[in-house]
Amino acid sequence: MTTRHKVITMSSLRPKLALLRRQGRVIAFTNGCFDILHYGHVSYLEAAKKKDRVLVVGMNTDASVRGLKGPERPIVSQDQRAAVLAGLACVDFVVLFDDPTPYALIKAVRPDVLLKGADWKGKAVAGSDIVTAQGGRVEFVTFIERLSTTNIVEKIRQQCRAV
């Protein structure tokens, strides 16, 4: 499967997931903006994958990122972000979504495992009700403190001001 074929619409993903389920595969889902892909993202996605899982990554569209992060974001366009994510060996599929949360996408994917960063522990996780109602589980992956696109952008701004 080439990198570009990993970026897929939900209607194209549905039959692939049905086949994978018939084969006994575990479907895992996580999501994010993934603007300026960095080590924290890669570490998180590799931990989410595990050996037996098919990892579906829901990625916010440009419009969705702007709504969440403000008018200066995203820095990298959705097509480029999706291609970079798809280039990671640990990512099996990338599906874009336009909403502020991936709730509708999670409802469509029906993952066995929903993954979030450990910084989400104790908070409401969109779609957790869907996953647990069908016998799935929510897992939290170690979050690397202070390693985020927002922090990287701020560091760049500080360095530019210092020049």
CATH, residue 152: 3.40.50.620
pTM beyond 0.85: the answer is yes
Query: Is-contact 108 11, C-beta < 8 A?
Result: no
Query: Is-contact 73 35, C-beta < 8 A?
Result: yes
Question: Which residues does the chain have with pLDDT short of 50?
Answer: none
Q: What beta strand segments (E) does 33-158 contain?
A: 53-60, 93-97, 113-117, 137-141
- pLDDT value for 159: 79
Round to whole Å and give the CA distance between 154 and 38: 14
- pLDDT value for 2: 64
Tokens linked to 42: 């890669």
Q: Which domain holds residue 25?
A: 3-162
- pLDDT value for 147: 67
- pLDDT value for 21: 97
**Domain count within the chain:** 1
C-alpha neighbours within 13 Å on the C-beta side of residue 44: 26
Longest CA–CA span in the chain (Å) reads 58
